[in-house]
Amino acid sequence: MRAEVHAYVADAARLNRQPVLVLDPLTALDCSEAGYAEWFTEVTEGIEAHRALVVLKDKECEAESPRTTMMTVGVRNLRAAAPGAMVFLDATQLARKQDPPGVARTLATWSVKETAGVAINVGEHTPQAVADRYGIELRQTLAVTTGRRDLYVVADSSRGGVASADGCNPSDARIGSYEVLSDNPETTQHLWLTTPGISDGPCGSAPASKPGQFVPELATGLLAGTP
């Protein structure tokens, strides 16, 4: 892990590019606080002092450690050992079930005040315009909850070009706008946080695929109708 992260961010630095890391802490050795700390040590030692935009994914751990522990351990370790990292907390799963005020309250317990902001729509097919509106409302609510008006909201736009009929490898999904970032936190930012062509699992237009598997047909399908 350490070597892979270091090679990626170092190559980006040589090319004067902004590396983007989407971290899934559930690949840690276990779901304990010690397990997370060990995993994040590997990541942060790979980043070192390099610049990086880091999205900390939100997943429920089946063992003893709750999501709050997972996210706060990540924020604490990244801030301490990777000072060049801009950390964003993934609020995608929260946004499925809660309105922006509810999401903001939960994010406050995840130390969102110590981060650069929040990521939404990660791996989802929500239309870009819908994600943008949700992002603006969430940012406004976070400003009230945290007292910070400089928190950014980044939406995964890799698969949000149109409204899709299904949420799992939909055949009618299309790519969204390509990575539009600005220094204005009042607008929802756009990044491709999911590689086009990555499968959601054995469903939809890729019934024989595995979650996370690259399926060329899914990637080409996203480009249908694109000039």
Position 86 scores a pLDDT of 94
Architecture of domain 2-222: Alpha-Beta Barrel (3.20)
R_g over Cα of the chain? 17
Secondary-structure breakdown of the chain: helix, strand, coil percentages, each rounded to the nearest 5: 40, 15, 45
Q: Is 220 left (phi over 0), alpha (psi -120 to 50) or beta?
A: alpha
Position 101 scores a pLDDT of 94
Regions in the chain scoring below 50 on pLDDT? none
Q: What sign has the CA pseudo-torsion 169, 107, 46, 61?
A: negative
CB 121 within 8 A of CB 191: no
Query: What is the Cα–Cα distance from 143 to 202, expressed in whole angstroms?
Result: 40
DSSP annotation of 198: B
Position 226 scores a pLDDT of 60
Segments making up each domain of the chain, as ranges: 2-222
* Helix (H), strand (E) at residue 70: helix 67-81
Position 64 scores a pLDDT of 52
Q: Name every residue whose Cβ is closer than 8 Å to that of residue 129 and which is 6 or more positions away in sequence.
A: none
